């Protein structure tokens, strides 16, 4: 079976995706998917990419997401063995293998990177952590213990995903934008970023901050409330420092009972003190 060129891959993937269940058992569909998987791992194509002309400054490549979904459709359950250990998963998504030449340090202890994820040189993966298919993790990023990089999530350069940070996956619908964490962001311990939220360059999420489509973010510095709209995801501005806060419920029983609900708050924009607080332990890298 001829291996398709990258320039032709989009049309081929779109065709096999549109074929629905008829693609199952079609060798050409599997070859196309495997070419896409390799192209993603090599950083040649990605589920979403920077695009200055797009309203969010990110363009979703729906066909790449279609290809990733195609991989699930085509994958039969398959046994994978590693020494005494054995696993059963979709044959199309085995564990990625690295050599010293890849320049990725993968410390043993329950971490895995699924095939179809791009992991750049200089990335450090502390156990246990998981990077799902379609994700992009750029140079110099630290993926700390218990961190999750969900499917198609786009993680920039020199990002610190702290312990137990959860970056949600967005596979469907195929045109939905994935979660994006831009360059030099610190995602503190136990944070959760979900449903296509975009965290701009240099922002800091203090430990325990949760962002979803439905979470309004209160910017004390600029006096604005940031929300997702029908067309745009929640976007955290460049260099914002977001901490987990709360706001009073001002109506009904909630007010009567003196309740408050969770509210992320931008308390400041990155300054020298923030830079000091977020300095990474270079020696550990």
Ligand X SMILES: CC(C)(COP(=O)(O)OP(=O)(O)OC[C@H]1O[C@@H](n2cnc3c(N)ncnc32)[C@H](O)[C@@H]1OP(=O)(O)O)[C@@H](O)C(=O)NCCC(=O)NCCS
Q: Which residues bind ligand X (CB under 6 A)?
A: 144, 162-163, 188-189, 204, 206-207, 241, 243-244, 267-268, 273-274, 277-278
Residue 28 has phi, psi (to 5 degrees) of -65, -35
The Cα 185–Cα 131 span in angstroms is 18
CB of 276 to ligand X, least distance (A): 7
CB of 224 to ligand X, least distance (A): 18
Instruction: Please identify, using beta-carbon distances, which residue of 176 and 267 lies nearer to ligand X.
Output: 267
CB of 137 to ligand X, least distance (A): 17
User: Residue 23 to residues 27, 42, 65, 170: CA-CA distances in angstroms?
Assistant: 8, 25, 16, 23
Q: Which residues of 50-59 are buried (b: 16+ CB within 10 A; e: fewer)?
A: eeeeeebebe
Helix (H, G, I), strand (E, B), or coil: what is residue 280?
coil
CB of 281 to ligand X, least distance (A): 9
Residue 275 has phi, psi (to 5 degrees) of -60, -40
Instruction: Please identify, using beta-carbon distances, which residue of 176 and 243 lies nearer to ligand X.
Output: 243
CB of 138 to ligand X, least distance (A): 19
Instruction: Please identify, using beta-carbon distances, which residue of 41 and 144 lies nearer to ligand X.
Output: 144
Instruction: Please identify, using beta-carbon distances, which residue of 47 and 203 lies nearer to ligand X.
Output: 203
Look up residue 29 and give its two tokens.
């569909």
Instruction: Please identify, using beta-carbon distances, which residue of 186 and 198 lies nearer to ligand X.
Output: 186
């Amino acid at each position: 079976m001829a291996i398709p060129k990258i320039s032709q891959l989009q049309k081929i993937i779109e065709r096999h995706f549109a074929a629905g269940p008829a693609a199952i058992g079609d060798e050409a569909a599997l070859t196309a998917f495997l070419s896409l998987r390799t192209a993603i791992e090599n950083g040649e194509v990605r589920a979403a990419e920077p695009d200055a002309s797009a309203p969010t400054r990110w363009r979703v490549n729906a066909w790449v997401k279609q290809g990733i979904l195609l991989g699930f459709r085509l994958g039969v359950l398959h046994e994978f063995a590693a020494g005494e250990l054995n696993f059963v998963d979709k044959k199309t998504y085995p564990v990625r293998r690295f050599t010293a030449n890849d320049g990725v340090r993968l410390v043993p202890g329950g971490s895995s990177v699924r095939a179809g994820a791009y992991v750049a040189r200089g990335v450090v993966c502390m156990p246990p952590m998981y990077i799902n298919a379609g994700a992009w993790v750029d140079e110099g990023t630290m993926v700390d213990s218990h961190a999750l990089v969900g499917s198609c999530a786009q993680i920039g350069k020199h990002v610190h995903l702290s312990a137990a940070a959860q970056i949600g996956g967005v596979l469907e619908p195929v045109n939905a934008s994935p979660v994006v964490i831009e360059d030099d962001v610190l995602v503190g311990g136990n944070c959760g970023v979900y449903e296509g939220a975009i965290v701009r360059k240099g922002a800091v999420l203090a430990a325990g901050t949760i962002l979803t489509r439905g979470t309004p973010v209160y910017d004390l510095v600029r006096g604005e409330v940031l929300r997702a709209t029908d067309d745009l995801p929640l976007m955290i501005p460049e260099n914002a420092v977001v901490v987990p806060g709360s706001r009073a419920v001002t109506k009904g029983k909630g007010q009567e009972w003196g309740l408050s609900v969770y509210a992320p708050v931008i308390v400041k924009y990155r300054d020298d003190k923030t830079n000091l607080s977020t300095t990474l332990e270079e020696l550990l890298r």
